[in-house]
Amino acid sequence: MSVFKVFDIAGSGMSAQMLRLNTIASNLANADTIATNENDVYQARHPIFETVMQAQGGNSDDVATVRVREIMQEQTMAIPQYRPNHPLANDEGFVFSPAIDSIAEMADMISASRSYQNNIEVLSTVKEMTLRTLQMGQG
């Protein structure tokens, strides 16, 4: 019964979106993390999604689920700030902060949460349909 596969499909979508939300949370939380060395600065992380086609035995119905292929780190230049009194300042008086675009991250967060909600809606609709199917002809 292919309706039960929907639970796997929507579940994989939810878990991928949740990982995306996690990376956004990391990026936002580290937006103000300062480092002495340019190379030690936090780099924004972004998940790359990928479709997994699972061939089903017997008939040719395949199931397309989602998974996170990898989490990419951005390679952006750190922003130097001249703060000679900062305890982490280097010899020249600079500290480095990550180039994280908080507004873009917030927009990405809204997009991820909408996609998550869509998957939940699919799940609850299918659950309702399945329960009704089980009660067919009763009462």
Residue numbers of the site for other proteins (CB under 8 A)? 1-3, 5-6, 9-10, 12-13, 16-17, 20, 48-51, 58-61, 63-66, 111-112, 114-115, 118-119, 121-122, 125-126, 129, 132-133, 136-137
As measured in angstroms, the least distance from the Cβ of 128 to other proteins is 8
C-beta closer to other proteins: residue 60 or 75: 60
C-beta closer to other proteins: residue 74 or 90: 74
Chain CA centroid to CA 80, Å = 29
Chain CA centroid to CA 120, Å = 16
CA nearest 49: which of 25, 70, 75? 70
**How far apart are alpha carbons 37 and 35 in whole angstroms?**
6
As measured in angstroms, the least distance from the Cβ of 4 to other proteins is 9
C-beta closer to other proteins: residue 45 or 83: 45
C-beta closer to other proteins: residue 43 or 118: 118
